Amino acid sequence: MSKREELENYKRKITEIAGRAEIITGIHNYCDRWCERCAFVSRCSVGIAEFETDSPDHDMRNKEFWEHLSMIFQATSEMITESAREMGIDLDAAVSEYVEPIHHESKAEKIAKEYGFRLLDWIKKNEELFNTKEEVFKLTDEKQLVTFRDAIEVINWYSLFICVKIHRATLEPLDIDDEETDRYDKNGSAKIAMIAVSRSLEAFAFLYSHLHEQEDEVLAFLSDLSRIQKLLNKAFPDAMNFKRPGFDEGGVFLNLKD
């Protein structure tokens, strides 16, 4: 199959998925991107695409992963261009008028960024220790083994995710932005960051009881997460009331475009 034929197949698949009646519009805008653990993956266009387009493992060292990602981006880009042309929109003119949103790094984002990179280094440095702990749990407590592995996966998954979502939540609006939509998006981004912080706190609370050799380091991570949590609660007091499409029932959702 040629690259063009493969690209056209991707475009047809994306169009078919988006048209399914069970799809929840915008659900992927305020999720944690952990499709393997999501109960709504069968109702999310992004999640379905991950599983129905033969997506390779999410290994950034894997050449196939980047080729797959590039193909999806190219297919989506072509579809946007084709739709714009049908609507009489000149995308080249729109790009020339684009003004990048203003951003000043908040204290919460700064702490989250430092936390994330330090955490990734810590995980890599202590792989042998984690493996040893797992071997002990295999012999003593299978349930604890599952919880231990889960805790490591959770802190690893959300390591940099928290910083990214705080960055999005703290972008300053442009004059051309709709105030209601901007406030909606900020609260949604802040909420998923808060959820990630909460889940990371729970994971580290468990690890604190089982990684006595790393007690000081774990306490430092818990301290960082607690500071981030307090700063987010202060900056976004209404965020936890935000109703995420699909995840939080009973909300009235704005139909945001991706």
Q: Is 248 part of a structural domain of the chain?
A: no
* 250 pLDDT more than 50: no
User: Sign of dihedral through CA atoms 207, 212, 214, 216?
Assistant: positive
User: Does the structure show a pLDDT above 70 at 97?
Assistant: no
Distances (CA, A) of 126 to 83, 185, 215: 50, 37, 13
Structural domain range at position 156: 107-241
Q: Do residues 81 and 136 share a domain?
A: no
Reduce the DSSP state of residue 246 to 3 states and report it. Answer: coil
Q: How confident is the model at residue 103 (pLDDT cuts 50, 70, 90)?
A: confident
Q: Give the model's pLDDT for residue 64.
A: 67
Domain count, the chain: 2
Q: In terms of domains, do 61 and 186 share one?
A: no
pTM comes to: 0.78
Residue 71 lies in a domain: yes
Residue 102 inside a domain? The answer is no
254 — pLDDT class (breaks 50, 70, 90):
very low
Average pLDDT over residues 161-182: 81
209: tokens are 């009881």
* Sequence-ordered list of residues with C-beta below 8 angstroms from that of 250, at least 6 positions apart, any chain: 243
Tens-place pLDDT, residues 112-134 = 999 999 999 999 999 999 999 99
Indicate whether 231 belongs to any domain.
yes
**Tokens 């042309």 appear where?**
85
Same-domain pairing of 177 and 132: yes
Confidence check: pLDDT of 8 > 50:
yes
The reply to whether 86 and 113 lie within a common domain is no
On whether both 75 and 127 belong to a single domain, the answer is no
Boundary of a domain, candidates 32, 63, 96: 96
Model confidence band, residue 100 (pLDDT cutoffs 50, 70, 90): low
